[in-house]
Structure 1
């Protein structure tokens, strides 16, 4: 079952921005520019000091490794930043994640949902609704009953012969980096999704920039 370890830091109770990336053994970071662009945009929107050049240099100084690394960057309002590095464990290629629907709801009017921050109480609450043995990921709906996202992933569905579809930001969800890349490449488009859409989809995926797309299925026990 899947798990993403929370950031551990002496100031972890302080509100901060987060970017989670994968550093390959060759030193490259997939979608790095998109991560930095999102961080800068969130910093501007939320009034954080942010020196992107300094942060980019900080990331470049990560010690080389012969394996992929999980890199978690935290930015505080005063512009200070920390990087936490742990080994990256990839999902097996034949893995299909089991998804469950949370009773916890998101409020689509909450402006913080579009930013990746340490304000994660609603996601932690949703994740806690199911043991990891029963759910690899937990999906949240908004107050209108529309699908939004997982606790650590973006939701994608194939509903026809066209691109994947993913919920619009207006539904109340994170502006994911993988999501942005797939939309820019024409491989995904925005479309409101309901739980029934997810059940009837030809294919279902969850994903983020760290792990990429992971095939998934919504547990049939959740179907009315």
Structure 2
């Protein structure tokens, strides 16, 4: 693995029905640093439709992507279908060993698990699917961001920003990460205390689980 990186080729992974914020949150943090060269990769170049209808564009195929220093894998509300994407899973399995870091947000960690990347590692995911990681040999953790070796995983959707800031601090130091956070004015003050199952209460949890079951 490369250690001191003057340029960090970062592959942001796109696939059908991915969750947009899982990718955009880390992108806005990391791409603001001059060392990062972003590449948006999918099975084929072109438009990729996210699970809530937003269209993003891949500028390169997996086969045409540079060897990545950093891989960022978003999740999906339709994560079970994504697990059957053999082209995506195969690329992750092949690209990870040479990468300096592999990162996932939300249910993206299930894709890492399917690719054999999480065996024996501590990892997190969206609270509703976290326990499925054990089936891939991972140690599920109820933490917002988990680093285990060269793999960093984030909890549900919005945790992608926290993941990217944590990684930025590891790569470039706390002052740089703090400046990136300030530039984004990332100062969470949510209007409700319902961001975890413990805070939300059983009725809200049941409603969300019901909605997820229908995706």
TM-score with structure 1 setting the length = 0.27
**Whose strand proportion is higher, 1 or 2?**
1
Of structures 1 and 2, the larger Rg is shown by: 1
- TM-score by length of structure 2 reads 0.28
Higher helix share: 2
